[in-house]
Structure 1
Amino acid sequence: MSGLYSSTVPPTDRRRALRDSLTSTRITRLPGAFSPLVARAVQDKGFEGVYVSGAVVAADLALPDIGLTTLTEVAGRARQIARATDLPVLVDADTGFGEPMSAARTVSELEDAGIAGCHLEDQVNPKRCGHLDGKEVVPTEVMLRRIGAAVKERRDDQFVICARTDAAGVEGIDSAVERAKAYADAGADLIFTEALRTPAEFEKFRAAVDVPLLANMTEFGKSELLGAKTLEDLGYNAVIFPVTTLRIAMGQVEQALGDIASTGTQRDWLDRMQHRSRLYELLRYREYNEFDTSVFTYSPDTYDPTA
């Protein structure tokens, strides 16, 4: 990995890498990262990209996923995460944070943050978690305006604009297919259909839509959890694991805090912790120390407080 303070891989190159991966024979795997350090770990384990979930950004702010976060909050977290990795970062941009003009500004802000792509969805604003009941979708023509505004504002044609449809759970899978086709015609590079349930539904959608497709493998939702190889065999081009790392982390945090509250010590958790040495590896502590040593010029013998 290059660059101590930020990636030296230009954003356009990372966007091109994401595009290329979507047309390769291998599925693009994008685990969700709730922090820059998690993004660093995602790269270290050999994945093809990083995903930033809107639900995770909200949860990390102790908010539900009901459209309460702002463009500033999401773009800020996305910028921090993109800084910490050389991988392309795909960001959940909800409904574009407002009207079609807002979707255009969203793309502009995310491009400035070094992001490789984002997805916009066709839910009514404010949105709801895609795996909950009670969702509403906007008319197709409204979503087409969102996509059209985003495509028009995009300055780097390598930036990936993904269109997400939640119509399968509201209007049925056939409606979702028709929407996906219209969204692709409007300029979407990638289609994300939310809350498909079974392999047969994923297969049906793949057979009907002739553009790159993204699958969402989120836990405790409506979709059967399918492995990346299974999705690859079904013809899907990308898969996200949006909340997985946060759920694992918070599950462990809550258990550990309960034990500490009852026993007064974290001693029994030492074998389940990330060791200090491993944390320092991910933080590149040695490289920072070497850099600091190479540029450090202060010496007590030469320091003049009056200079």
Structure 2
Amino acid sequence: MTTTAPAELRRLLSGPGMVRAPGVYDGISAHLVRRAGFRAAYLTGAGAVASGYGLPDIGLATATEMADRAALVVEASGLPVVADADTGYGNPMHVVRTVRAYERAGVAAIQLEDQDFPKRCGHLTDKSVISADDFVRKLAAALDARENDTLVIARTDARGPLGLDEAITRAHRYAAEGADMIFVEAPQSVAEIERIAAEVQAPLVFNVVPAGRTPAVPDADLEKIGFRMAIYPGALLQPATLAMAAALVDLGGEDPDVAEGPLGIFRAVGFDDWAALGDRYR
């Protein structure tokens, strides 16, 4: 009998070692992750909207656009894909539709976050979150809607706007409500990372974002303190973007001047213009 993607991911998570899932966003990145020998892939929302739609990661993508991208990378990679689903693209009713679409795409896990709409990349400033009660309703909708034993990852972005204590409180609650894994986004020191690992009694996801708000921690240390999965959303997108910029200069073009880090990529695809629009109509 063929093993389903969720079952394979659950098997990997129950085995030895931390599961490492590089960020993929198109067909070639998905193929390369498989060919490099990785056992799972992460559909990065930031990468998908930047590469696929030329947009910054500030809540501009739709559920159907992301589900289409998920189907593409699932087919190309042949791996269990952990798929970013942002806020679920609306209220609990919309979350149900999103889960159904992502399951049709064949993902192994769906990541939902408690940001307000429109969301922002987790390593940008000026984030806001909905109440824990409101997110729990979304989480319940996702857990009820799934039909393929797809894992549901609950991410809290509360560390930035509300502090680490609130983020950990939410992590405890989301785990108690039935989330398969917990993801506390953007801790700001090694001490905070260690506290999350020590206090949150659930399988944990760690987000590796060079030049982001979280300090670099070796994978071996993450595994040692108890993280079960690490995702690397910019591991391919950042060097690929910088390499394209350098290639254009080699061809005689002007330097596109892409800065390192998430904001550098977002600015390359119009972040400042979209931010100005947001401010105009706020």
TM-score range, shorter-chain basis?
0.7 to 0.9
Paired AA for residue 93 in structure 1:
A
Q: Which residue of 2 aligns with 1:70?
A: 62
Q: For 1:262 and 1:22, locate their aligned partners in 2 and report how far apart those are by CA, in whole Å.
A: 46
Spell out, residue by residue over 1:138-178, the C-alpha distance to the aligned partner (whole angstroms, 9 max, x if none). 00000000100000111112x11000000111211111111
Q: Which residue of 2 aligns with 1:155?
A: 147
Shift, 1:56, TM fit: 0.9
Q: Which residue of 2 aligns with 1:243?
A: 234
Q: For 1:224 and 1:17, locate their aligned partners in 2 and report how far apart those are by CA, in whole Å.
A: 31
Q: Which residue of 2 aligns with 1:278?
A: none
Q: For 1:31 and 1:169, locate their aligned partners in 2 and report how far apart those are by CA, in whole Å.
A: 24
Which of 115, 128, 132 does residue 123 from structure 1 map onto? 115
The answer as to whether partners of 2:26 and 2:48 remain within 8 angstroms in 1 is no
Which of 41, 59, 79 does residue 87 from structure 1 map onto? 79
- Counterparts in 2 of 1:66-215, with a 5 A limit? 66-157=58-149, 159-215=150-206
| Runs (5+) with no aligned partner, structure 2 | 255-282
Q: For 1:254 and 1:94, locate their aligned partners in 2 and report how far apart those are by CA, in whole Å.
A: 28
Q: For 1:85 and 1:148, locate their aligned partners in 2 and report how far apart those are by CA, in whole Å.
A: 30
- How much identity, in percent, do the aligned residues show? 41
Paired AA for residue 255 in structure 1:
A
Shift, 1:262, TM fit: 5.5
Q: Which residue of 1 aligns with 2:12?
A: 21
Shift, 1:261, TM fit: 1.7
Local SS of the residue matching 1:191 = strand
The answer as to whether partners of 2:70 and 2:105 remain within 8 angstroms in 1 is yes
Spell out, residue by residue over 1:160-205, the C-alpha distance to the aligned partner (whole angstroms, 9 max, x if none). 1000000111211111111011111212100111001222211101
The answer as to whether partners of 1:23 and 1:212 remain within 8 angstroms in 2 is no
Shift, 1:220, TM fit: 1.4
Paired AA for residue 15 in structure 1:
P
Q: Which residue of 1 aligns with 2:273?
A: none
CA 1:188 to 1:259, structure 2 compared with 1: closer, same or farther past 3 Å?
same
Which of 39, 48, 70 does residue 57 from structure 1 map onto? 48
Q: For 2:221 and 2:19, locate their aligned partners in 1 and report how far apart those are by CA, in whole Å.
A: 13
Q: Which residue of 1 aligns with 2:266?
A: none
Local SS of the residue matching 1:222 = coil
Local SS of the residue matching 1:63 = coil
Between the two proteins, the alignment pairs up a number of residues equal to 253
Q: Which residue of 2 aligns with 1:35?
A: 26
The answer as to whether partners of 1:202 and 1:234 remain within 8 angstroms in 2 is no
Q: For 2:45 and 2:30, locate their aligned partners in 1 and report how far apart those are by CA, in whole Å.
A: 15
| Runs (5+) with no aligned partner, structure 1 | 1-8, 264-307
Q: For 2:55 and 2:36, locate their aligned partners in 1 and report how far apart those are by CA, in whole Å.
A: 30
* 1:234 matched to 2:225: yes
Spell out, residue by residue over 1:253-295, the C-alpha distance to the aligned partner (whole angstroms, 9 max, x if none). 11111111269xxxxxxxxxxxxxxxxxxxxxxxxxxxxxxxx
Shift, 1:87, TM fit: 1.2
The answer as to whether partners of 1:14 and 1:86 remain within 8 angstroms in 2 is no
Q: For 1:84 and 1:97, locate their aligned partners in 2 and report how far apart those are by CA, in whole Å.
A: 25
Q: For 1:86 and 1:35, locate their aligned partners in 2 and report how far apart those are by CA, in whole Å.
A: 13
Q: For 2:200 and 2:218, locate their aligned partners in 1 and report how far apart those are by CA, in whole Å.
A: 21
Paired AA for residue 140 in structure 1:
A
TM-score by length of 1: 0.80
Q: For 1:27 and 1:138, locate their aligned partners in 2 and report how far apart those are by CA, in whole Å.
A: 30
CA 1:203 to 1:23, structure 2 compared with 1: closer, same or farther past 3 Å?
farther
Larger radius of gyration: 1
